[in-house]
Structure 1
Amino acid sequence: MAYEARTKPTEVSVADFIAAVENPQRRADAETLCALFAEISGEPPKMWGPSIIGFGRYHYRYASGHEGDAPRLGFSPRKAQTVVYVMSGFQGQETMIARIGKVKTSVSCMYVNRLDQIDLGVLREMAVASLAHMSKLYPDD
C-alpha cells in the first residue's frame, strides 16, 4: 500500500516542493533537472507522492498481477543524494553509465551527489534513450 501511495500523482506544486528543498545545491540541481526533463519529455513536471517529480505517465502490469501507474521519467531530490529514475534495459545503457561520471546505480535508479559531478549531455542521452525504450514497451500510454 505504501508503494502505491508513493507512485500516485498529487496536486502539490512542483515549484513549491523544489523551493522547500533545504540544501541549496540540491535545490539548484532539482531546478536544472526539472527544466531538462520537461524539455526532453515534452511533459510538465508533476509531483508523484511526497517526493518524486515525474514527467509523463505509463501503466505497468507485472506477471504477478500487480499493476499501477508511474512517471516515464523522474527524479527525487533527497537529503543525501538526488535519485534519477530512468527505465533500465535500453540499448547502450551500460556504456552511458560508464561515461556519465560519479553515480551509483540500481535497476532503474541513479544516485547522484551533485549534477556538477556528472556529464549532463550523457544524462540527456540516457533520458532520451529511456523514453524511446518506454514508448516501445508501453506504446498506448
Structure 2
Amino acid sequence: MPTTWTDVDPLAYLETVQPERRRHDARVLLTMMERVTGAAPRMFGPSIVGFREYSYTYDSGHSGHAPAAGFAPRKSATVVYLPDGLAAHEEDLAALGPYRGGVGCLYLTNLERVDLTVLERIIARSFATVTAAGFGRRAAQS
C-alpha cells in the first residue's frame, strides 16, 4: 500500500519522538521548514513530517506523490528528504558539517553540529526546485 497523507497531528507525533535529541532536532526542523515552505506540517505515513506535495513519474512509468519538503526523526538519526537529490547540493553539503547521505536523504545525528544557515539554504533550494513547474514531469530520483 503506498504511503499517503494522514490526519495525525504532527505536533502530537513529535512529542512521542525518542530520544530527546531527536525530539529537539525535530522541533528545530519543523520551525525551519514552516518558514521555508510557508506551509503547515502534515504527516505523510506514520513517521514523515511533510510540507506541501509534488508528483513524480519514474522512467518506468511508475508515478506517485510525496512531500516537497520533509523529515523523519529516527532513533539513530533524523532524515531530511531532498527530492531533487543530494548531488544538486554538493557545494553546500561541503559546508554543512557532519552528515551521512543517500541519493535523496540527509542523515543528521545532531543539528547543533551542522551549520543551520547552510541546511536551511539546502532545504529552500530543494523545495523551490521540486515545486517549480515541470519538475514532476521529469523522472524522479529512484
Indicate the residue corresponding to 2:29 in structure 1. 33
Q: TM-score, with normalisation over the residues of structure 1?
A: 0.89
Does the Cα contact within 8 Å between 1:59 and 1:69 map onto a contact in 2?
yes
2:72 matched to which residue of 1? Answer: 76
Tell me which stretches of 4 or more aligned residues in structure 1 moved more than 2 Å: 87-92
TM-score of the aligned structures, taking structure 2 as reference length = 0.89
**Contact 2:86/2:102 (8 A) holds in 1:** no
Structure with bigger RCO (C-alpha 8 Å, 6+ apart): 2
The answer to whether the 8 Å contact 2:86/2:101 transfers is no
What 5-or-longer segments of structure 2 have no aligned partner?
A: 138-142
Amino acid in the other structure paired with 1:23: P
Displacement after TM superposition at 1:91 (Å): 8.3
Contact 1:47 1:53 in 2 (8 A): yes
Question: In structure 2, the residue corresponding to 1:36 is in which secondary structure?
Answer: helix
Say which SS state the counterpart of residue 122 (structure 1) adopts. helix
Number of residues of Structure 1 aligned to a counterpart in Structure 2: 135
Query: Which residue type is aligned with residue 67 of structure 2?
Result: P
The answer as to 2:54 corresponding to 1:63 is no
Q: Do the aligned partners of residues 89 and 22 (structure 1) sit closer, same or farther apart at CA in structure 2, a change above 3 Å counting?
A: closer
Gaps of 5+ in 1: none
Distance 2:129 2:17 in 1: 31
- Residue 104 of structure 1, CA deviation: 0.7
Match of 2:105 in 1: 109
Identical amino acids, percent of aligned pairs: 37
User: What's the Cα RMSD here?
Assistant: 1.7
Question: What SS is found at the alignment partner of 1:72?
Answer: strand
- In structure 2, C-alpha distance between the alignment counterparts of 1:28 and 1:96, rounded to whole Å: 23
What displacement does 1:22 show?
Answer: 2.1
- Cα distance in 2, alignment partners of residues 129 and 94 from structure 1: 12
How far residue 88 of structure 1 moved from its aligned partner, in angstroms, is 2.9
